[in-house]
Structure 1
């Protein structure tokens, strides 16, 4: 039996209109609409054409019902600048990531979520409270991807085709998810991590998840989380010059612009000094890039997962087959981790061993 929601999800994952899928398969649009809305079911021959056009194995379309990631559940950074088709494509990728996470939790003991939610505190107060809960002290945050994974967030990368989507996050069944664009600089990636954490902590049932004010609040949370007030005030002089900012940004591993914004927020730069510094940094190329940037932070959990799986004879291709997805879909979630399959023995039959416990080793600050 074909599952209609999976036809829609696969089509939206490929960012295809019904008309385009009709042209690729030779199946009339109305019939495709009937398939997606459960008014009729495709024949085996029609399903084969749909699967071939969408690049998914036929087994994907007969698996259990898949729960889509609702638009209102996702905090898109630039929702108004992201087309609906692109939003649906990345939400479909997120739905596949949720299925992959469910597959993982059946086989591994992952860190339990330790992410508080607050209804009304200010972004600065929220950031300080989370830092205290996670025992970060008043110094720079360590590797942010490792940190979020250690606190039970599921962190995945976005497909490289979605370059205009910075990042987004959502809650699903009390599990927090964050998706990151790996084409951004290392500094921008750290800020994106903290920004999405801010949405998860501050926004939900009581407060809007998206909109200009929610974005400003998430930005203020990220700034305070990555650059604690006490540490910045202790280290940075009032009226810091551009060369001092460029030297100091490595302390917190943030962009020069982000540190400049933080200094202004903390009243260590006047309005005039702030505008002048931003103008000078833009002239030096720091508005759109980080010429002397840090390496991009990536997952610690995912390489451990696939190392353990390989040790048991399970290849990445085998995982993809169990999930009924192309290997490329798995690869798109992996921060560039190579999933090239190596010859193996396959999954050994017999009883399943106890789930391995995966822990994240804190990175040096």
Structure 2
């Protein structure tokens, strides 16, 4: 049986690895990262970056479960591929009583190991942060930190190829389902498969040729360059999610391809919808919203007033949301299934969501962990 996974992002690459490990004849289809986002006129991916938080605790217990399962396999993926993508810096979630009560539901359900810190303990452990006096926190000291989404996709794809998967560098324009197969129409020609899993992120609706189902929002991230001495001084800094209306997330100093160290902060004050392909393309090409960047700058200076920032820059990405804020994992027909809708939480748990997506078109992957 010939299987195809459409989408070379975090979920698609994970699905391809699980299918290949199960012995399937699988082809992973998607374009490479564009050399210049500002002039690229094709599809984009939000994994073109070096930092995503990975942790088990979350405000929704569902994400705790799938993230825990995925994190359990990080070392397996690194071993299979020889590509390092995971840095175990630890992770903290910090907030007021109502915020932490929500975190506690999933923490207790999945027995997440972490240190519970009152405000005094937070200040002592993380002197570089300044939190409101009523904030407490959970600090995951093990099996948490950050991943390079770019390297994680590369690792999944390389491991999949090691198990026999085929990689097709192409952009998918649509599907033609027939009685005996599914024709995948790409900019490199037409290919026939017995079953297809569509894991194309924000582009999923277009690939499926269906009415808009996903809500796609623009996101701006800010990058704060620090020097080597500042990076060393923040060696104990965990990733951080904390309780403010912008729902911000912060990553410690990470070395980017330009050789520099950057802290990364995300957290948009409003949801700005992107309703057409042209909207998404223009957003990625623009590289972010300067007003949001400046707002994030002010947020970080309040949170880390002693931080010595060398430069400030920004980047653009998108998030895709389902109506129920859970991944869309479904068989749409006997031959086509879908795996989409990261809901702003899809990086850390991507290997588990990919496994669940793979099971939709190849039953042997369903119970394998």
TM-score if structure 1 supplies the norm length? 0.25
More strand per residue: 2
Higher RCO, 1 vs 2 (CA within 8 Å, ≥6 residues apart) = 2
TM-score if structure 2 supplies the norm length? 0.25
More helix per residue: 1
